[in-house]
C-alpha cells in the first residue's frame, strides 16, 4: 500500500482511488477499502498539500453598538500613490453605530501617529469610546499605544491574523473610500489626499442601507447643507428664515433619541438578515483542546525557494485553548505558544 500510494508509481491518490489501484493490481484482503481510506487520510504529504478550504467555518456573529461613538473600527490603507508631502498611507476609523468615518493621510503610520489621530479626531470631538477594534499591526498593539488605551480606559479588541472579517466595519469603510477616490480622481491619483475630505463629506451625507439614515443626521440630528444647494437653491436654503430654522432644528434635536432608537432596531433587523443569508453556506469546523491541527501556510512563513511547490499547510500544532468564537490559541509540538490566536478558517485537523 505504501509503495502504490507514494512509491515510484504512486501519486498520493485519495482513499477510493488507492483502493481501486491496489485491487486492479491484483491484491486483496478483507479490510482493504477501510485500510486504503485510513492510510490516505493520515498521509502527511497529502495533508500538507491538500486544497485550501474557503467555505465559512463559523456562524456570523453581528457586532452591535448601542449608541453613537461607543465602538470604533480602525485600520490602515496603503501604500497609496504618493501625494503632496510624500503621504502614502491613510488611517481611518469608523463608528459602528452611525457609520461616521474619520480618515487622514500620513507619510507613515507609527504609534505616535495613531495616538495623535485618536486624540484629535475622536477623543476631543466625540468623547471617550468604550471599544476600538483593530488588527495586529505593530502600530496598534505596541506598548506605547497599549498604554495610551489603558490610560483612557478604552478596550482594545484585536482581530485574529489574516482574518479581516473580524473588523468588517473598518474594511467596508476602506472599500467605500477607495472606490470613491478611484472614481473622482481619474488619472490624477496623486491628489487623493486633497480629495479625501470631500469623499468623507459625500459618504457622511449618503443614506446607509443598515441604518436608513445618513451618518450626519445620526450624529447632529439634522441633514447637512450640501454645496449643490448653494448653486441650485432648495426650499430649505432659500425660504427658511432664522426663526423657523431655529424651531425646526430644536424639533430635530428633541427627536434625535427616537431617531436613534428606530435606527438601532433597523440595524438589528438588517444584521439578522445578513447573518441568516451567510449562515446558509457555513460548514462548522470546531476543535477541542489537545487536537493536532495544521495551519494555513502564508507567504511570510514558507520557504521562498520552494516557489509553487511549497506546502499549503504547515505544522502540526496543538490546540492550547479557545480564544473566542471560532478562534484558538496554539502551541508547537515542543509546547511553546504561538503569538496571537488563530481563526478556525486557517486551521484543519491533522491525523496521525
Which cell is 37 given? 481510506
Region 186-206 average pLDDT: 87
Angle ∠(58,60,65) on CA atoms, nearest 5: 140
Domain locations in the chain?
A: 1-42, 71-280, 291-349
pLDDT at residue 165, as a whole number: 65
Residue that is written with C-alpha cell 470613491 in the block: 180
- State how far the Cα of 290 lies from the Cα of 185, in Å rounded to an integer: 53
Phi, psi of 292 (to 5 degrees): -90, 135
Most confident of 114-123, 242-251, 307-316: 114-123
Whether the pLDDT of residue 312 is over 70: the answer is: yes
Q: How far is CA 167 from CA 4, 44, 157, 164, 188, in A?
A: 47, 34, 9, 5, 30
Cβ neighbour number for residue 166 with a 10 Å cutoff? 22
Region 237-246 average pLDDT: 67
User: Residue 60: CB partners within 8 Å, gap ≥ 6?
Assistant: 274, 275, 278, 279, 282
Whether the pLDDT of residue 102 is over 80: the answer is: yes
Which cell is 138 given? 505593530
Please check whether residue 72 is in contact with residue 96, taking contact to mean a CB–CB distance below 8 angstroms: yes
Q: How far is CA 180 from CA 189, 199, 207, 211, in A?
A: 12, 7, 15, 20
Region 93-106 average pLDDT: 91
Please check whether residue 279 is in contact with residue 59, taking contact to mean a CB–CB distance below 8 angstroms: yes
Higher pLDDT, 271 or 145: 145
User: Residue 66: CB partners within 8 Å, gap ≥ 6?
Assistant: 97, 264
pLDDT at residue 352, as a whole number: 84
Query: For 330-343, how does the pLDDT look when each residue is reduced to its tens digit (9 = 90+)?
Result: 998 888 888 888 88
Residues paired with residue 111 on neighbouring β-strands, in sequence order: none
Whether the pLDDT of residue 115 is over 90: the answer is: yes
- Band of pLDDT at residue 269, cut at 50, 70 and 90: confident
Burial class (CB within 10 angstroms; exposed 0-12, middle 13-18, buried 19+) of 312: middle
Residues paired with residue 133 on neighbouring β-strands, in sequence order: 73, 157
The DSSP result for 331-349, as a single string, is E-TTSPBPSS-EEGGGEEE
- State how far the Cα of 181 lies from the Cα of 89, in Å rounded to an integer: 14
Phi-psi region of 81 (alpha: psi -120 to 50; beta: other; left: phi over 0): beta
Domains 71-280 and 291-349 share a fold: no
Q: What percent of the chain has pLDDT over 90?
A: 16
Whether the pLDDT of residue 35 is over 70: the answer is: yes
The DSSP result for 310-330, as a single string, is S-SEEEEEEEEEEEETTEEEE
pLDDT at residue 13, as a whole number: 80
Region 209-229 average pLDDT: 84
pLDDT at residue 235, as a whole number: 66
Query: For 60-81, how does the pLDDT look when each residue is reduced to its tens digit (9 = 90+)?
Result: 777 778 788 999 999 888 788 8
Whether the pLDDT of residue 215 is over 80: the answer is: yes
pTM exceeds 0.75 for this model: no
Which cell is 158 given? 484585536
Please check whether residue 109 is in contact with residue 76, taking contact to mean a CB–CB distance below 8 angstroms: yes
Whether the pLDDT of residue 299 is over 80: the answer is: no
Q: How far is CA 198 from CA 173, 176, 261, in A?
A: 15, 13, 29
* Architecture, CATH, for domain 291-349: Roll (2.30)
Please check whether residue 193 is in contact with residue 87, taking contact to mean a CB–CB distance below 8 angstroms: yes
Peptide bond into 316 cis (omega under 30): yes
Q: What is the CATH number of domain 71-280?
A: 3.30.420.10
Whether the pLDDT of residue 147 is over 90: the answer is: yes
Amino acid at each position: 500500500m505504501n509503495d502504490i500510494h507514494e512509491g515510484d508509481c504512486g501519486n498520493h491518490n485519495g482513499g477510493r482511488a488507492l483502493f481501486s489501484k491496489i485491487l486492479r493490481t491484483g491484491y486483496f484482503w478483507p479490510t482493504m477499502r477501510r485500510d486504503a481510506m485510513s492510510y490516505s487520510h493520515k498521509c502527511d504529504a497529502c495533508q500538507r498539500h491538500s486544497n485550501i478550504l474557503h467555505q465559512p467555518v463559523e456562524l456570523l456573529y453581528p457586532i452591535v453598538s448601542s449608541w453613537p461613538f461607543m465602538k470604533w473600527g480602525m485600520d490602515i490603507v496603503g501604500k497609496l500613490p504618493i501625494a503632496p508631502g510624500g503621504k502614502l498611507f491613510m488611517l481611518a476609523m469608523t463608528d459602528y453605530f452611525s457609520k461616521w468615518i474619520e480618515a487622514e493621510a500620513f507619510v507613515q503610520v507609527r504609534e505616535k501617529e495613531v495616538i495623535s489621530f485618536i486624540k484629535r479626531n475622536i477623543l476631543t470631538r466625540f468623547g471617550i469610546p468604550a471599544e476600538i477594534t483593530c488588527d495586529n499591526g505593530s502600530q496598534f498593539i505596541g506598548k506605547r499605544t497599549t498604554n495610551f488605551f489603558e490610560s483612557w480606559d478604552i478596550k482594545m479588541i484585536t482581530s485574529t491574523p489574516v482574518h479581516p472579517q473580524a473588523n468588517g466595519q473598518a474594511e467596508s469603510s476602506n472599500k467605500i473610500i477607495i472606490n470613491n477616490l478611484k472614481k473622482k480622481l481619474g488619472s490624477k491619483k496623486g491628489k487623493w489626499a486633497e480629495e479625501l475630505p470631500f469623499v468623507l463629506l459625500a459618504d457622511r451625507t449618503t443614506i446607509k442601507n443598515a441604518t436608513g439614515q445618513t451618518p450626519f443626521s445620526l450624529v447632529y440630528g439634522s441633514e447637512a447643507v450640501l454645496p449643490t444647494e448653494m448653486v441650485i437653491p432648495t426650499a430649505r436654503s432659500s425660504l427658511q428664515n432664522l426663526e423657523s430654522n431655529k424651531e425646526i432644528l430644536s424639533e430635530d434635536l428633541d427627536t434625535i433619541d427616537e431617531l436613534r432608537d428606530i435606527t438601532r432596531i433597523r440595524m438589528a433587523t438588517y444584521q439578522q438578515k445578513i447573518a441568516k443569508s451567510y449562515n446558509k453556506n457555513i460548514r462548522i469546523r470546531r476543535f477541542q483542546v489537545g487536537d493536532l491541527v495544521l495551519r494555513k501556510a502564508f507567504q511570510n512563513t514558507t520557504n521562498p525557494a520552494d516557489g509553487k511547490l511549497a506546502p499549503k499547510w504547515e505544522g502540526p500544532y496543538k490546540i492550547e485553548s479557545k480564544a473566542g468564537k471560532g478562534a484558538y490559541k496554539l502551541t508547537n509540538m515542543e509546547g511553546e505558544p504561538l503569538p496571537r490566536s488563530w481563526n478556525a478558517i486557517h486551521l484543519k485537523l491533522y491525523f496521525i
